[in-house]
Chain A
Amino acid sequence: KAGVTQTPRYLIKTRGQQVTLSCSPISGHRSVSWYQQTPGQGLQFLFEYFSETQRNKGNFPGRFSGRQFSNSRSEMNVSTLELGDSALYLCASSPQGGSGTEAFFGQGTRLTVV
C-alpha cells in the first residue's frame, strides 16, 4: 500500500508570492490534516479535511487555506508569503477520525521563502 505522498518535496519562493502544496493520502483514507513544523514553534496544526469539508482549523491567518477533492487528495495554499512561512509542511492521513486513530504522515514539503 502506498504511503502518504507530498509534492513537491522542496520549494523556494519569494516574499509576496503564493504557493500550493499537494498531498495524496493513503488509499481509502478520508481524513487529511496539515501541520507546520518550525524550529521555533514546533509542530502546529493548520487544518483538517474530511470528505471534502474542513472540520477543524488551527490558529493561522487567513492566508493559509486548503481544500480536499472527491478522491481525498488535498491541497493547501499560502498567499502573500512571508519569511516566517519558511517551514516543513507535513500532511497526515487517517482512515476516518476520532480519538485514538493513527495518523500517517508524509515526508513533508520544505518551503523556503526568500
Chain B
Amino acid sequence: GDSVTQMEGPVTLSEEAFLTINCTYTATGYPSLFWYVQYPGEGLQLLLKATKADDKGSNKGFEATYRKETTSFHLEKGSVQVSDSAVYFCASNDYGGATNKLIFGTGTLLAVQP
C-alpha cells in the first residue's frame, strides 16, 4: 500500500543553519504531498503542500518540491530559528477518490539551539 518514509530524528542544529528533512513516498497513483508541523502540546498545523509533480510548496521560509522521478518531497529551510523547534511530519493524501485520508511519516524532531 501507499506509504511515507522520512528521516529519523532528532535533528539538532544551531540557529541560522541550513535544514533538510528527507521524505520519500510510495503510491499507486499521484498523491498530493504535505508537510505538517507539531509544536509541544498542540495538534498538527499545515506547513506547506504540493498537489502535482514539480510543484513547489513554500511557507515561512520552508520549501519542498514534489519530485515524481525520485518520489521525494524533501523539506528545506535556509536559516532555522529557535522557534522552528518542533516535530515535522511528511504526509501524502491517499489517492483514490474523494477522501481526506492522510498517510504520515514517523515524524522528525527538530531541535534548534541558540
B residues with a Cβ closer than 8 A to A are: 30-32, 34, 36, 41-46, 49, 51, 89, 93-95, 97-107
Interface majority SS (helix, strand, loop, mixed), chain A: strand
Tell me the count of chain A residues lying within 8 A, CB to CB, of chain B.
29
Q: Which residues of B contact A98 (CB under 8 A)?
A: 97-100
Interface pair B104/A42, CB less than 8 Å apart: yes
* Shortest Cβ gap from B3 to chain A (Å): 11
* Shortest Cβ gap from A16 to chain B (Å): 29
Chain B residue nearest in CB terms to A31:
B100
- Kindly list the 10 A-B residue pairs having the minimum CB-CB distance in the complex, ordered from nearest: A105-B43, A43-B104, A100-B51, A100-B32, A97-B98, A105-B44, A99-B32, A99-B93, A107-B43, A42-B106
How far is B77's CA from A22's CA once the two chains are assembled, in angstroms? 36
Q: Which residues of B contact A104 (CB under 8 A)?
A: 46
How far is B101's CA from A48's CA once the two chains are assembled, in angstroms? 7
Interface pair A48/B100, CB less than 8 Å apart: yes
A residues with a Cβ closer than 8 A to B are: 4, 31, 33, 35, 42-45, 48, 50, 55-56, 58, 90, 92, 94, 96-108
